């Protein structure tokens, strides 16, 4: 019969099990940190002043006042109020359709309420990514920061109706100023 070689087991050194568990916890913590760092970042919307009422929906025209900045504080864009000859028909601010803006801007607007003021951080992948508009001061793969106020919003059909009202009022004023011939009186 063959004899089995016996290997004597050495006792575990004092503190080795603790070191093993600490090492394992360190590896798990490092892996979790790397996973968090590599995870895509979302749009951050910080409320500065609360708004009221419902949120805009896709298909609405929003009227916003905003300042767009790069992470270093450089202003790359700023809204401008429309100079309309007839006041009160359209709200102040820059009108925009939700489908006509960058994905991060749209995502942020859908979370806002009328009258609210917000600071919005948009990661590069939800902004312009590697292809910013040509001639723009925005570098490729740049995150964007906006200070925004949602002045108002309305369905696109309502906004178009109001624009038509302004056009009709303007054409009526032009006809009145055009010096239409007065009928002769005897």
Residue 182 CA to residue 185 CA, distance in Å, equals 9
106-118, pLDDT tens digit by residue? 999 999 999 999 9
| Count of beta carbons in the 10 Å neighbourhood of residue 54 | 9
pLDDT over 80 at 97, yes or no: yes
| Count of beta carbons in the 10 Å neighbourhood of residue 154 | 18
Q: What angle do CA 172, 177, 178 make, to 5 degrees?
A: 95
The pLDDT of residue 17:
76
The pLDDT of residue 2:
65
Instruction: Tell which wins on pLDDT, 51 or 89.
Output: 51
Looking at residue 52, the DSSP 8-state letter turns out to be B
The pLDDT of residue 183:
47
Distances 26 to 19, 22, 33, 35 between C-alpha atoms, Å = 10, 6, 11, 14
Go through the domains of the chain in sequence order and give each one's CATH number.
44-169 (3.10.50.40)
Do 60 and 98 contact (CB within 8 A), yes or no?
A: yes
150-177, pLDDT tens digit by residue? 999 999 999 899 888 888 887 776 665 5
Residue 53 CA to residue 129 CA, distance in Å, equals 33
Residue count of the chain: 186
Q: What angle do CA 67, 83, 148 make, to 5 degrees?
A: 20
Q: What is the pTM of this model?
A: 0.69
Instruction: Tell which wins on pLDDT, 181 or 68.
Output: 68
| Count of beta carbons in the 10 Å neighbourhood of residue 160 | 12
20-79, pLDDT tens digit by residue? 778 888 888 888 777 766 655 689 999 999 999 999 999 999 999 999 999 999 999 999
Do 59 and 155 contact (CB within 8 A), yes or no?
A: yes
Distances 59 to 73, 94, 174 between C-alpha atoms, Å = 32, 16, 33
């Amino acid at each position: 019969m063959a004899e089995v070689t016996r290997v004597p087991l050495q006792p575990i050194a004092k503190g080795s099990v603790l070191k093993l568990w600490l090492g394992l916890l360190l590896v798990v913590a490092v892996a979790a940190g790397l996973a968090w760092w590599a995870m895509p970042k979302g749009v951050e919307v910080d409320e500065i002043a609360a708004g009221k009422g419902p949120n805009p929906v896709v298909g609405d025209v929003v009227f916003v006042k905003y300042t767009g900045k790069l992470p270093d504080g450089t202003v790359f864009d700023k809204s401008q109020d429309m100079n309309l000859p007839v006041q009160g028909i359209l709200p102040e601010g820059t009108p925009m359709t939700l489908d006509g803006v960058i994905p991060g801007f749209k995502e942020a607007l859908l979370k806002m309420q009328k009258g609210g003021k917000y600071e919005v951080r948009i990661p590069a992948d939800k902004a312009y990514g590697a292809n910013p508009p040509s001639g723009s001061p925005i570098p490729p793969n740049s995150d964007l920061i906006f200070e925004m106020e949602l002045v108002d919003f309305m369905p696109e059909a309502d906004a178009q109706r109001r624009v038509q009202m302004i056009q009709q009022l303007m054409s009526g004023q032009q006809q009145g100023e055009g010096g239409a011939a007065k009928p002769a009186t005897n």
